Chain A
Amino acid sequence: EVQLVQSGAEVKKPGESLKISCRTSGYIFSSFWIGWVRQMPGKGLEWMGIIYPGDSDTKYSPSFQGQVTMSVDRSTGTTYLHWSSLKASDSAMYYCARLTYSDSDVNFFDSWGQGTLVTVSS
């Protein structure tokens, strides 16, 4: 069974750094892209970017390029999302999700983590 388990809720102050995680199991980690999706309170889904664990190739949404960094640890099957300096506007729920990817562009998220709630407040 494919599983994505995310780290727990975080409460941080503006300017602090943060790394949240998404631990996967039940499939070959290096063979599937993993994406990150933001959902601000009461709002819709926003794609942040994807990372390919096989070679750490990344694709970022222009809205999030330079704002966050994605990384992987192939030894543990874990993907990370990192902020170097948080802002209050980063307060949101963050989901990781596995991307089913094909050459015919039938690309969608077939499994999701449970979400990590990040609260940034002074």
Chain B
Amino acid sequence: SYGLTQPPSVSVAPGKTASITCGGNHIGSQSVHWYQQKPGQAPVVVIYNERDRPSGIPERFSGSTSGNTATLTISRVEAGDEADYYCQVWDSSPDHVIFGGGTKLTVL
């Protein structure tokens, strides 16, 4: 079955840029969404529809897609960005939700 592939972990120094990837064979034709989950908390959407930010999400968070890979980019990383990040798409054959395996972002 169709799956989304994320790296298990990404590490970045404070103030630098973190890139978290999400690979999938059909991702170029799907709308990709990204969630942030901090320890002990429910997930929160940080990017929807590939590059749109919900209100309240800092401009430091951005999304893009190229070919079969979607990327969540976090600029000027802060300690508070340390969390697990999940990508998600909707597949309509049949209707269902697909989550990536998640990436743990560590701020060094």
In the complex, what distance in Å separates the CA atom of A37 from the CA atom of B37? 13
Asked if residues B45 and A108 are in contact (CB atoms below 8 Å), the reply is yes
Q: Residue B86 contacts which of A44, A50, A100, A107 (CB distance < 8 angstroms)? A: A44
* Contact partners of B84 in chain A: CB under 8 A: 44
* Contact partners of B43 in chain A: CB under 8 A: 37, 45, 95, 97, 109, 112
Specify the main secondary structure of chain A where it touches its partner.
Answer: strand
In the complex, what distance in Å separates the CA atom of A20 from the CA atom of B84? 25
Q: How far is the CB of A106 from chain B (nearest CB, A)?
A: 5
Known: A59-B95, A61-B96, A114-B42. A108 touches B88 (CB 8 A): yes
In the complex, what distance in Å separates the CA atom of A110 from the CA atom of B31? 14
Encode B11-25 as 1/0 by CB contact (under 8 A) with A. 000000000000000
Asked if residues A108 and B33 are in contact (CB atoms below 8 Å), the reply is yes
> Whose C-beta in chain A lies nearest to the C-beta of B101?
A44
A53 at the interface (CB under 8 A from B): no
* Contact partners of A113 in chain B: CB under 8 A: 42
- Point out residues on B near A: beta carbons under 8 Å: 30-31, 33, 35, 37, 42-45, 48-49, 54, 84, 86, 88, 90, 92, 94-102
Given contacts A37-B43, A105-B30, A110-B54, 15 further A-B contacts (CB under 8 A): A44-B100, A45-B37, A45-B99, A50-B97, A95-B42, A97-B43, A104-B31, A105-B31, A106-B49, A108-B33, A108-B90, A109-B33, A109-B88, A110-B48, A115-B42
The 9 tightest CB contacts between A and B, nearest first, are A108-B33, A47-B97, A107-B90, A44-B102, A112-B42, A45-B99, A106-B31, A106-B49, A108-B48
26 contacting pairs across A/B (C-beta < 8 A): A37-B99, A44-B100, A44-B101, A45-B86, A45-B99, A45-B102, A46-B99, A47-B96, A47-B98, A50-B97, A95-B42, A100-B48, A104-B31, A106-B49, A107-B97, A108-B49, A108-B88, A109-B33, A109-B43, A109-B45, A109-B88, A110-B45, A110-B54, A112-B42, A113-B42, A115-B42
- Point out residues on A near B: beta carbons under 8 Å: 35, 37, 44-47, 50, 59, 61, 95, 97, 100, 104-110, 112-115
